[in-house]
Amino acid sequence: MIQHTVVFTLVHEPGSPAEAEFLTTARRDLGALEGVGGFTVHRQVSVKSPGSWQFSMVFADQEAYDAYDAHPVHRAFVADRWAREVAEFHEYDFVRWDG
């Protein structure tokens, strides 16, 4: 299993309709893609960490993750929305360590 997360800050004013629309659209469109599990949106509350938002989702394996990454809906969202509306981000992909 792969847990894919991105922590990001939007160019939109906090609490604005544009911010809400971006988050709602991402959850609706990206969360509905085949292979995406547990799509969640989290708001950052710690003053110790940069980034205002986090998307988190899980994939059964690398094949499912790669299919998501190549999916036309994901590619269009990245090109049309993410590139214009995200000020900065960090991406983290984790697999479980069983030591």
CB contact set of 13 (below 8 Å; sequence gap of 6+): 19
The token pair at 95 is 């697999």
Tens digits of per-residue pLDDT, 40-97? Answer: 999 999 989 889 999 999 999 999 999 999 999 999 999 999 999 999 999 999 999 9
Residue 98, CA distances (Å) to 45, 62, 95 in order: 30, 18, 10
pTM: 0.90
Domain boundaries, the chain: 2-95
CATH, range 2-95:
3.30.70.100
Tens digits of per-residue pLDDT, 71-84? Answer: 999 999 999 999 99
